[in-house]
Chains A and B, each alone.
Chain A
Amino acid sequence: MTAIANDEPGLEIETVVNGAPVRARVAVRQSLVDWLRDDLGLTGSHVGCEHGVCGACTVVVDGVCVRGCLMLAVQADGASIETIEGASASGRLAALQEAFYTRAALQCGFCTPGMLLTAAELLAGDDKPDRETIREALSGNYCRCTGYQAIIDAVEAASTSEKR
Chain B
Amino acid sequence: MKPAPFAYAAPRSLDEALALLAEHGDEAQIIAGGQSLVPMLALRMATPGILVDINRIAGLPGLLEDDAALTVGPCVRHAELLRHAGRHRHWSLIAAAVREVAHPGIRNRGTLCGSIALADPAAEAPAYALALDAEIVLSSLSGERRVPARKFFRGVYETARAPDEMITAVTFPRPAPGWRFGFQEIARRHGDYAIAGLCAGLRLEAGRITEVELVYFGIADRPMRAPQAERSLLGEPNADAVKEAAAAAGAELEVEGTGESSAALKRQLMRVLTERVLTKLIVGAPGQ
Contact = CB atoms under 8 A, between A and B. Distances in A.
A3 B9 contact: yes
A70 B35 contact: yes
A29 B190 contact: no
Contact of B10 (A2, A29, A140): A2
Secondary structure type dominating chain A contacts:
loop
A75 B12 CA distance: 13
Nearest to B39: A51
Contacts of A5: 7-9
Nearest to A62: B108
Interface stretch (B99-107, B130-138, B202-210): B99-107
Contacts of B53: 74-75
A93 interface: no
A50 B42 contact: yes
Interface stretch (A97-105, A131-139, A151-159): A131-139
Contacts of B9: 2-5
B9, B38, B39, B43 interface centre (most CB from chain A within 10 Å) = B38
B6 interface: yes
B5 A67 contact: no
A11 B106 contact: no
B215 interface: no
B1 A2 contact: no
Given A28-B8, A135-B190, A71 B105 contact: no
B104 A71 contact: no
A6 interface: yes
A116 interface: no
B105 A58 contact: yes
Interface in A1-47: 1-7, 11, 28-29, 31
B105 A67 contact: yes
Interface string B1-37: 1111111111110001101100000000001001100
A140 B102 contact: yes
A3 B9 CA distance: 6
B95 to A, nearest CB: 14
B1 A50 contact: yes
Interface in B210-235: none
B55 interface: yes
B189 interface: yes
Interface string A109-143: 00000000010011000000000000111011100
Given A50-B42, A52-B35, A69-B42, A137 B6 contact: no
Contact of A136 (B31, B105, B106, B190): B190
Interface in B103-119: 103-106, 108-109
B6 A29 contact: yes
23 contacts: A2-B12, A2-B16, A4-B9, A5-B7, A6-B8, A7-B5, A29-B6, A29-B41, A51-B39, A51-B43, A53-B39, A55-B103, A64-B79, A64-B109, A66-B108, A70-B106, A70-B109, A71-B38, A72-B34, A75-B31, A139-B103, A140-B105, A141-B103
Given A66-B105, A72-B34, 9 more contacts: A6-B8, A29-B5, A50-B2, A51-B1, A55-B103, A70-B34, A75-B31, A136-B190, A139-B190
Interface of B: 1-12, 16-17, 19-20, 31, 34-35, 38-39, 41-43, 50-51, 53, 55, 79, 102-106, 108-109, 189-191
Interface of A: 1-7, 11, 28-29, 31, 50-53, 55, 58, 64-67, 69-72, 74-75, 77, 118, 121-122, 135-137, 139-141
